[in-house]
Each structure stands twice: as C-alpha cells, then as structure tokens.
Amino acid sequence: MCDVAVVMGSISDLKVMQNTLDVLTELGVSYETKVVSAHRTPQEMLDFAKNAQKKFQVIIAGAGGAAHLPGMIASSTSLPVIGVPVPSRYLKGIDSLLSIVQMPAGVPVATVSIGEAGAKNAAILATKICALKNDSYRKSLNNYVKAMHDTSIESGEKFE
Ligand SMILES: Nc1c(C(=O)O)ncn1[C@@H]1O[C@H](COP(=O)(O)O)[C@@H](O)[C@H]1O
C-alpha cells in the first residue's frame, strides 16, 4: 500500500514534476510514479484510474498543453485528484492550466498553479489529505511549516 500516485502525461514533464517527488520525499510520504496519457495510452490510463483505489489515497496528475489527463483520471476514480499544469512550449502553461481547472460540475480536479510552485504545492496538499489519517505525516508537515517560517525570518533579518 502506497499513499500517493504521481502520474504525468510524458517523461518530458519530469523536470517540473520532480519538485513534487522531492517534497513528498522530504515529508516522508510514500509514493509511486507512472507515465500515462489520456491521448497516447488511453486504455492504460483507464486501467490505472480504475485500479488506483486499491493502492492509493490521492492521485497527483501533471500534464501540459491539452492537459486532459487529470480530468480523465478524475472521471474514473473516486479518489481525490490534484492537477498540476505543466508549462507548455508555446503558451507557457496557460493552456495546461485552463484544460485542468475548467472541469464540468461533478468531476472536480483540485488544480494548483503552473509549474514548479504548483508541483510543490500538489505534494503538500496530497500530504495534508493523507495526514487526516496519519500522525507522522502531520508532524512532517508541522516541521516543514516551521522550517519555512524560520528561513523567512532569517532571510529578513539578514536583509535588514
Ligand atoms: N497533456 C498530455 C496528455 C494527456 O492529457 O493525456 N498526454 C501527454 N500530454 C502532454 O504533452 C506534452 C508534450 O509531451 P511530449 O514532450 O512527450 O511531446 C507533455 O507536457 C504531456 O504532459
């Protein structure tokens, strides 16, 4: 049993999605990764989504351009799905963001911001969901917030 599935539409998304993996690792959250595409490997995408509940608590799906992957996965599972808009070459991820966030009523995808910050926040949000039933994840999150707080204060003090 693993807590978080991190899926992406192409291995080319890894540069951005590595931020998700790094934060999950830092927080000590168990995860698995998979490259799967609603466009290029639709049957594998459906098989993954249909079976995900047996293994995971949350799915993070990153995709760029016509980013149908998070929404299509959300349509085929009752697990919460967090969508990460990966920056695209020509439209800089605006296309990814709008494809992921503008879901029809009834099929939610919790959408984070475009790129690295969004990829990190997806990991934190997924951990918060898992922490509802896991005290050690809650402690990790508290430590993470404290470290962020201390770094912010220290950088301010150095500047002043
Ligand atoms: N948006 C999707 C989906 C999908 O939504 O199913 N499958 C691949 N892609 C995206 O295509 C972009 C270019 O992929 P390539 O670099 O492999 O050509 C990637 O950002 C990927 O997420």
* Residue range 89-132, pLDDT digits in tens: 999 999 999 999 999 999 999 999 999 999 999 999 999 999 99
Region for residue 119 given its phi and psi (left: phi exceeds 0; alpha: psi -120 to 50; beta: otherwise): alpha
ipTM: 0.99
Mean pLDDT of 28-46: 98
> What is the pLDDT at residue 129?
97
Q: Quick check: CB of 49 below 6 Å from ligand 1?
A: no
- Residue closest via CA to ligand 1's atom 17 equals 10
Mean pLDDT of 42-53: 98
> What is the pLDDT at residue 53?
97
Mean pLDDT of 67-72: 98
d(CA 60, CA 104): 19
Q: Which domain CATH number covers 29?
A: 3.40.50.1970
76 neighbors 149 (Cβ within 8 angstroms): no
- Residue closest via CA to ligand 1's atom 1 equals 67
114 neighbors 87 (Cβ within 8 angstroms): yes
Residue to mutate (ligand 1; options 12, 60, 111; most atoms within 8 A of CB): 12
> What is the pLDDT at residue 159?
85
Q: Quick check: CB of 95 below 6 Å from ligand 1?
A: no
Q: What percent of the chain has pLDDT over 90?
A: 96
How does the average pLDDT of the chain come out, rounded? 97
Q: Quick check: CB of 68 below 6 Å from ligand 1?
A: yes
Number of domains in the chain: 1
What's the CA angle centered on 43, arms 97 and 73, to 5 degrees? 35
Strands 58-64, 81-86: parallel, antiparallel or unpaired by DSSP? parallel
Query: Rounded to the nearest whole angstrom, what is the distance from the C-alpha of residue 12 to the centroid of ligand 1?
Result: 8
Mean pLDDT of 2-20: 97
Question: Is the per-residue pLDDT at 38 higher than 80?
Answer: yes
Question: Is the per-residue pLDDT at 2 higher than 80?
Answer: no
pLDDT band at 1 (very low <50, low <70, confident <90, very high): low
Question: What single string gives the DSSP state of each residue in the chain?
Answer: --SEEEEESSGGGHHHHHHHHHHHHHHT--EEEEE--TTT-HHHHHHHHHHGGGT-SEEEEEEESS--HHHHHHTT-SS-EEEEEEPPTTTTTHHHHHHHH-PPTT---EE--SSHHHHHHHHHHHHHHHHTT-HHHHHHHHHHHHHHHHHHHHHHHHH-
Q: What percent of the chain has pLDDT over 70?
A: 99
Residue to mutate (ligand 1; options 17, 43, 69, 102; most atoms within 8 A of CB): 69
Task: Provide the domain limits for residue 114.
Answer: 4-157
Q: pTM for the full model?
A: 0.97
